[in-house]
Homo-oligomer: A and B are copies of this chain.
Amino acid sequence: MRIKHFVMAETGWPECANTLKGVILDLCGVLYDSGEGDGVAIPGSIEAVKKLKESDLKLRFCTNETQAAREKFVAKLQRLGFDISVNEVFPPAPAAVGVLRERGLRPHLLVHDGLLSEFDAVDKTNPNCVIIGDAAEKFSYQNLNEAFRVLISQEKPVLLSLGQGRYYKETDGLKLDVGVYMKALEYACDVKAEVIGKPSPTFFQSVLNDMGVQPHEALMIGDDLVNDVGGAQHCGMKGVQVRTGKYRLAIQRIHNTNSSNSILGQIWVKFIMNH
């Protein structure tokens, strides 16, 4: 199914190229692979960002990164060599803070320590909802129980999930992502989580608004078929799946072969550079 969808996106390229005004890039698995320290830039990606910035295309970065506050992971990208600034990057946490304010919600946070500072100004006393992010090692039995008890004590439990990813690739292998624990709490409490971040249409629209382009004029490039490609297509944008990041791992698993990152991973770079 992954390959079929990829081909569908591929055949849409020529038409898309004629009207393209803006490009949205996913970060992890597209520009870099995360892991110990800063992780590693994917070959060609630093140059691709540079070329895009020199072109007449508008460029934004849309990520479901929730292990660090925005300033911190943008600084990491800059250390890796990317020409990226904080106001070009859209992660779920600032969007979540907006939702909390609009609806008068006070969160119990099950998120990575690195993300806590994004919620410094938010009232967290007597919580009436749960926010779950990619908490990684903090996804202990005890912490998941605590979040569960907050939810089950509410008449109408509200669960806000910063993304719904299944897993991601770090340099030492695949790691479970926030969506897995979102599903766990959904089942425990018989509730449906509200996803903030990709593939939420509201989230994509906020990025399009910031660029000032229409959905059909924009292209989303990511390594996740559901959250990047599917989410973008659902909003009327074009979506392209790269063959780096988690895509490559899935293909290796299916075909039991080692795909070449340097050949397969850079198809989108060629496309952008020929624009």
Contact = CB atoms under 8 A, between A and B. Distances in A.
B184 A253 contact: no
A187 B166 contact: yes
Nearest to A175: B145
Interface stretch (A28-36, A125-133, A146-154): A146-154
Contacts of A135: 141
A188 interface: yes
A142 B141 CA distance: 11
Interface residues of A, number: 32
Contacts of A152: 167, 174, 253
A256 B106 CA distance: 21
A144 B176 contact: yes
A166 to B, nearest CB: 5
A210 to B, nearest CB: 31
B173 A149 contact: yes
Interface string A185-208: 111111000000000000000000
Contact of A149 (B137, B174, B186, B189): B174
Interface string A235-262: 0000000000000000001000000000
A73 interface: no
A253 B153 contact: yes
A181 interface: yes
A145 to B, nearest CB: 6
20 contacts: A137-B141, A137-B142, A138-B141, A139-B140, A140-B141, A145-B175, A145-B176, A148-B167, A149-B173, A149-B174, A152-B253, A166-B189, A167-B188, A179-B187, A180-B184, A181-B184, A183-B183, A183-B184, A183-B187, A184-B184
Given A148-B174, A153-B253, 5 more contacts: A135-B141, A166-B188, A176-B188, A180-B187, A183-B183
